């Protein structure tokens, strides 16, 4: 709904300008609208071709450092089973860490966004602790916690928690006045108000926090696996890099990218379904 | 004011403002039980503020607000509110919206009974077919019907309506006015209604009493009884001399207030050398 309003305002703003001034803006808008469709995939294919071209040009003695797409595809095919197993192993870390971050981030964020003293209590943490790149915790978490898996889950949690928490807080703090009035005249109790009004009203914010959080958890996951895993996607890349098997390494990178992409798309689906009432 | 008996709903020398600006200055108003009062005034006269104060959404800086003798300290389910728009939560269906309100007003009912009651009220306002729909799937008029159904379902003896038909087209507006009167007439004991509007015809047609507010700060400049018997068929009522006299009087009060403010503004401008 807000997006509609924004574009409405934008067209109003353009209406005031002379026609010549609005033309470039219109062209870019038309271009971006087109690129969002199949053209994005065409660009991807183009890049692949460019990659192949560059691979041909690279001198033979450096080829093992810069594998061609064809070689990478072969490596990908050959290690598909291993990659599948790695994905499974990674998800055993990713899912609990991310899910815990979503639950904790949303619950605490909604409480912090609606309770003055709790918000004041968390401000120093969100200002000081949240901006610390969570990757710095990885070595210590591995040293501190029993077993690699629990350590990796913990760092995935930390990485995903802050963006979700900060966004949920912002969402809960910005429930529109009309909805708050509405809840008050109905005599909703605090718990019911949080569950049935604040939570749905904050969903837009929560989902943007969740998608940043998901990207963060993939970063944390792979970094943690580079440090000390014996399985998983990050481990796969690290392992073949150590053996200078670059086709497999690049295949691992591409595969990790694909898995991330699929997860982000799935989250986007969930978001669209949950926010059906905004269209 | 009005009657000698203790008023059902009462503002007692209430003052209210945001920051330094006064929105309402020493305003007193009493409503009888079952009375239908229209609040009329230009924008800035604080008519919506009066309604928010009665709803308990705002607390006066000075003065008292009482409902049946008890001080109003916050919103309560004994006073139903219909806003101009957005009275319904967009992520709940019509029925869910009404069920939520019923759950607060009648906690003794079980889930099935709440649902049945909600559907009954939706049927009453002519939304029998739309109960599974979400507010954004409905027209503005249907949403306001839903909001009225919700307020009625709460069973509150007081109904506070803030320009409820202000955003509707004339046809829907007429229909909903009729619906409101029908509901008000048929319920016993009759509900006390405060109806905020800026439409003079609407104010007179619906109400027992029209209270005209002046602006800056908000205060009552006229309090007029509507001496027209009910039912008031629209076409005949508009032609009645009583209606036309009242319409003229109200319009003059509103214009008088406006002219006064304009001349006051001129004086200020002259004093500042503009």
Tell me whether residue A253 is exposed, middle or buried, using C-beta atoms within 10 angstroms of its C-beta: 0 to 12, 13 to 18, 19 or more: middle
Per-residue pLDDT, A12: 37
pLDDT at residue number A112: 94
Q: What is the pLDDT of residues B5-21, one digit of tens each?
A: 678 888 888 888 877 77
pLDDT over 90, % of chain B? 20
User: Which value does ipTM take for this structure?
Assistant: 0.83
State residue A15's pLDDT score: 37
Tell me: do A91 and A21 sit in the same domain.
no
**Does residue B259 carry a pLDDT above 70?**
yes
Residue A37 sits at the vertex; the CA angle it makes with A32 and A41, to the nearest 5 degrees, is 105
Domain of residue A18 covers: 1-35
- Is the domain of A246 the same as that of A152? yes
Q: Looking at the structure, tell me whether residues A14 and A103 fall in a common domain.
A: no
The verdict on A114 and A25 lying in the same domain is no
Q: Are residues A260 and A193 in the same domain?
A: yes
- In a domain, residue A60? The reply is no
The partner residue sitting opposite A185, judged by closest CB among B81, B135, B136, is: B81
Q: What is the pLDDT of residue A34?
A: 54
Over residues A119-141, the pLDDT tens digits come to: 889 888 888 888 888 888 888 89
* Chain A residues with a Cβ under 8 Å from any Cβ in chain B: 178-179, 181-182, 184-188, 196-197, 200, 276-279
Burial class (CB in 10 A: 0-12, 13-18, 19+), A37: exposed
* Residue B77 or A38, more confident: B77
Same domain, A5 and A125: no
For residue A92, being part of any structural domain is answered with yes
Query: How many domains does one find in chain A?
Result: 2
pLDDT in tens, B198-220: 899 999 999 999 999 888 788 88
**Tens of pLDDT, residues B147-163:** 988 988 888 889 999 98
Looking at the fold, whether A115 and A172 belong to one and the same domain comes out as: yes
The pLDDT assigned to A57 comes to 84
Q: Does residue B1 have a pLDDT over 70?
A: no
Query: Which residue matches tokens 């409480």?
Result: A111
Check B83 against A178: CB less than 8 A apart: yes
Higher pLDDT, B257 or A257: A257
CB contact under 8 A, B89 and A182: yes
Region class of A232: left (phi > 0), else alpha (psi between -120 and 50), else beta? left
Q: Which of A179, A196, A200 shows the shortest C-beta gap to B100? A: A196
In a domain, A53, yes or no: no
Question: Does an H or E element contain B24, and which?
Answer: strand B21-31
Q: Which residues does chain B have within 8 Å of residue A276's beta carbon, measured at their own beta carbons?
A: 134
Angle at A49 between CA A47 and CA A51, to 5 degrees: 70
Considering only residues 143 to 162 of chain B, which have any Cβ-Cβ distance to chain A shorter than 8 Å? 154
Biggest CA-to-CA distance, chain A = 77
Q: Give the pLDDT confidence score for residue A32 in this predicted structure.
A: 58
Q: Which residue has the tokens 């009910």?
A: B230
Q: Is residue A45 part of a domain?
A: no
Same domain as A140, residue A17: no
CA gap A104, A110 in Å, rounded: 10
Looking at the structure, tell me whether residues A14 and A74 fall in a common domain: no
Task: Find out whether A28 and A36 touch, Cβ atoms under 8 Å.
Answer: no
Return d(Cα A214, Cα A224) in angstroms, integer. Answer: 15
Per the DSSP assignment, residues forming a β-bridge with A88 are none
Measured CA distances, A279 to A178, A272, B136 (Å): 19, 9, 8
Lowest model confidence (mean pLDDT) among A53-62, B27-36, B109-118, B240-249: A53-62
């Amino acid at each position: 709904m807000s997006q509609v309003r924004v574009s409405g305002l934008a067209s109003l703003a353009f209406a005031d300008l002379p026609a010549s001034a609005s033309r470039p803006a219109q062209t870019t808008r038309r271009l971006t609208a087109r690129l969002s469709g199949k053209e994005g995939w065409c660009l991807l294919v183009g890049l692949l071709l460019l990659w192949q071209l560059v691979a041909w040009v690279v001198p033979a003695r450096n080829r093992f450092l810069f594998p061609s797409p064809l070689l990478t595809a072969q490596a990908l095919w050959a290690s598909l089973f291993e990659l599948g197993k790695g994905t499974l192993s990674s998800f055993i870390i990713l899912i609990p860490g991310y899910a815990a971050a979503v639950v904790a981030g949303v619950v605490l964020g909604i409480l912090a966004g609606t309770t003055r003293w709790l918000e004041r209590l968390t401000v120093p943490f969100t200002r000081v602790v949240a901006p610390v790149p969570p990757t710095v915790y990885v070595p210590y978490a591995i040293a501190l916690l029993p077993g690699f898996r629990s350590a990796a889950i913990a760092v995935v949690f930390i990485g995903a928690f802050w963006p979700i928490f900060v966004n949920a807080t912002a969402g809960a703090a910005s429930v529109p006045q009309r909805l708050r009035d509405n809840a008050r005249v109905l005599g909703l109790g605090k718990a019911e108000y949080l569950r049935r009004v604040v939570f749905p009203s904050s969903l837009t914010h929560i989902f943007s926090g969740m998608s940043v959080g998901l990207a963060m958890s993939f970063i944390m996951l792979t970094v943690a696996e580079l440090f000390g895993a014996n399985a998983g996607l990050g481990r796969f890349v690290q392992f073949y890099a150590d053996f200078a098997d670059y086709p497999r390494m690049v295949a691992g990178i591409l595969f990790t990218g694909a898995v991330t992409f699929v997860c982000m798309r799935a989250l986007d689906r969930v978001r669209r379904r949950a926010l059906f009432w905004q269209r | 004011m009005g009657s000698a008996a203790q008023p059902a709903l009462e503002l007692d020398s209430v003052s209210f403002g945001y920051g330094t600006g006064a929105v309402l200055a020493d305003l007193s108003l009493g409503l009888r039980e079952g009375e239908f009062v229209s609040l009329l005034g230009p924008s800035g006269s604080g008519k919506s503020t009066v309604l928010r104060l009665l709803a308990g959404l705002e607390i006066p800086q000075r003065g008292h607000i009482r409902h049946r003798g008890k001080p109003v300290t916050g919103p309560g389910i004994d006073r139903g509110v219909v806003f101009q728009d957005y009275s319904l939560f967009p992520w709940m269906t019509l029925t869910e919206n009404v069920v939520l309100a019923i759950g607060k007003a009648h906690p003794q009912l079980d889930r099935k009974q709440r649902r049945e009651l909600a559907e009954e009220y939706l049927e009453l306002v002519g939304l029998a077919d739309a109960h599974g729909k979400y507010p954004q799937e409905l027209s503005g008029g249907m949403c306001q019907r839903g909001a009225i159904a919700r307020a009625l379902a709460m069973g509150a003896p007081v109904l506070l309506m803030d320009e409820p038909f202000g955003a509707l087209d004339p046809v829907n507006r007429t229909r909903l006015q009729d619906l409101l009167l029908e509901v008000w007439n048929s319920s016993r004991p009759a509900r006390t209604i405060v109806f905020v509007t800026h439409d003079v015809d609407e104010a007179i047609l619906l109400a027992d009493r029209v209270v005209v507010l002046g602006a800056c700060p908000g205060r009552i400049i006229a309090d007029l009884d509507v001496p027209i018997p009910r039912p008031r068929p629209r076409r005949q009522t508009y032609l009645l001399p009583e209606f036309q006299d009242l319409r003229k009087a109200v319009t003059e009060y509103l214009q008088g207030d406006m002219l006064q403010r304009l001349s006051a503004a001129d004086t200020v401008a002259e004093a500042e050398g503009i």
